[in-house]
Amino acid sequence: MGIQGYDTFKYFLVSSPSEYVAQVEINRPDKLNAFSPPVWLEFGRLFAQLSHDPDVRAVVLSGAGPRAFTAGLDVQAASSKDGLLSDVFHGDGRGDKDAARQAAALRRHIVEFQDSIGAVEKCEKPVICVMHGVSLGLAIDIACCADVRVCTRDVRLAVKEVDIGIPADIGSLARLPRIVGSMSWVKDVCLTARDFSADEALAVGFVSQVHKDKAAAVQAALQLATFIAAKSPVAVQGTKELLNHARDHSVAENLRYTTVWNSSAVQSNDLKAALLSGLRKSKPRFEKL
Bridge partners of residue 209, in order along the sequence: 150
The answer to whether the pTM exceeds 0.75 is yes
CA nearest neighbour of 47 among 108, 6, 7? 6
Rounded to an integer, what distance in angstroms lies between the CA atom of residue 121 and that of residue 205? Answer: 18
Query: Tens of pLDDT along the chain (289 residues)?
Result: 667 899 999 999 999 999 999 999 999 999 999 999 999 999 999 999 999 999 999 999 999 999 999 999 998 876 655 656 555 555 555 557 889 988 999 999 999 999 999 999 999 999 999 999 999 999 999 999 999 999 999 999 999 999 999 999 999 999 999 999 899 999 999 999 999 999 999 999 999 999 999 999 999 999 999 999 999 999 999 999 999 999 999 999 999 999 999 999 999 999 989 888 877 878 889 999 9
Residues 6+ apart with CB under 8 A from 134: 32, 67, 68, 69, 70, 71, 156
Question: Could you give the CA distance from residue 103 to residue 106 in angstroms, rounded to a whole number?
Answer: 5
For the chain, list the domains and their CATH numbers: 12-229 (3.90.226.10), 233-280 (1.10.12.10)
3-state secondary structure 113-140: HHHHHHHHHHCCCCEEEEECEEEECHHH
